[in-house]
Amino acid sequence: MNNKLLLVDGMALLFRSFFATAVHRNFMINENGIPTNGVNGFLKHLITAVETFQPTHVVCCWDMGSKTYRNDLFQDYKANRSEPPLELIPQFDLAKEAAAELGILNIGIKGYEADDCIGTLSALFSGEAEITIVTGDKDLLQLLNKQVQVALLQKGIGNYKVYTEEIFREETGVPPKALIDIKALMGDTSDNYPGVKGIGEKTAYKLIREYENIDRLLESLSLLPKGQQTKIQQSLKELELSRQLAEIHCEVPLVCTFEEALFSLKMEEAALMLRRHQIKGIERMLEKLNAREIS
């Protein structure tokens, strides 16, 4: 199989890039008064990922607004997160425009997260290509399989911890899908869902290693120490809810053909876009990428 599909978590790249420079209030404001620091870093990450993984096809996935079907299940989902900083807000559209001008397909569906779009596309195209997901979000490790690897962003640009299904199993002692049940048990403070009160990451992994999944664990509840039994029995509703929230939805109603994801760098459009928005330091990276594509 010669096709290689790169699925990019646009939200993760943009947020990471924005906060890396915003800490010094280095917003790189252009002549139209629009900050470009997040988009600048986003493009550096994006171009570097294309150089590193050399895909034939690329899709960049986005959240579309802050509310999703998970908020219908649990209204406090991500309620602990503050609104994006004002300097970041205009950069969402700018980042999508920049990706499109490079020749990259953007996908985002209202009511779903970027993760769900990535999960759906990886399920849709796993028969067509070897898939690499670039993200900073460990939740996406649940999508690992024989055709799908996940490159987790590390500090700096171009540094990844690449997980395959085998590496994940070796590191954790569980299959990737078990991550859903582990997150259901331990909850997620970042996404603000409860899990089982009093069960942390270490215990969650231990229980799932031993019982494989939550259903078997509940069947064997009487075998657990009294303390754990009580904690789980008192949190059965939260456990089921957390399992629904933790699972990436892989049947998002999106329309995308494999051909639409074909990547061909639009050098001229990209260069014009960079000049139009005064995004500095990217053109040389694009020239290098273009030279490699031509050769």
Model confidence pLDDT, tens digit, residues 171-180: 999 999 999 9
Instruction: Catalogue all structural domains in the chain, each as residue range(s) with its CATH number.
Output: 4-165+253-283 (3.40.50.1010), 177-246 (1.10.150.20)
pLDDT value at position 26?
86
Among candidate residues 113, 65, 67, 74, the one with its CA nearest the CA of residue 245:
74
- Taking all residues of the chain, what is their mean pLDDT, rounded to a whole number? 95
Among candidate residues 276, 12, 282, 286, the one with its CA nearest the CA of residue 139:
12
pLDDT (mean) for 70-97: 94
> Rounded distance, CA 200 to CA 211, Å?
16
3-state secondary structure the chain: CCCEEEEEEHHHHHHHHHHHHHCCCCCCECCCCCECHHHHHHHHHHHHHHHHHCCCEEEEECCCCCCEHHHHHCCCCCCCCCCCCCCCHHHHHHHHHHHHHHCCEEECCCECCHHHHHHHHHHHHCCCCEEEEEECCHHHHHHCECCEEEEEECCCCCCEEEECHHHHHHHHCCCCCHHHHHHHHHCECCCCECCCCCCCHHHHHHHHHHHCCHHHHHHCHHHCCHHHHHHHHHCHHHHHHHHHHHCCCCCCCCCCCCHHHECCCCHHHHHHHHHHCCCCCCHHHHHHHHHHHHC
pLDDT (mean) for 67-87: 93
Token pair, residue 232, equals 């789980």
Buried b (16+ CB within 10 A) or exposed e, 96-132: bebbbbbebbbbbbebbbbbbbbbbbbbbbbeebbbb
| Alpha-carbon radius of gyration of the chain | 21
* Residue located via tokens 């920049």: 98
> Rounded distance, CA 92 to CA 39, Å?
8
What is the tens place of the pLDDT at every residue in 220-245? 999 999 999 999 999 999 999 999 99
> Rounded distance, CA 291 to CA 274, Å?
18
Residue 1 has pLDDT above 80, yes or no: no
What is the tens place of the pLDDT at every residue in 5-14? 999 999 999 9
pLDDT (mean) for 187-193: 94
Q: At what angle do helices 178-186 and 201-211 cross, to 10 degrees?
A: 140
Sign of CA dihedral 29, 35, 40, 45: positive
Strand partners, 8: 60, 134
pLDDT value at position 291?
86
pLDDT (mean) for 137-147: 97
What is the tens place of the pLDDT at every residue in 18-67? 999 888 888 999 999 999 999 999 999 999 999 999 999 999 999 998 89
pLDDT value at position 295?
63
pLDDT value at position 51?
96
pLDDT value at position 66?
84
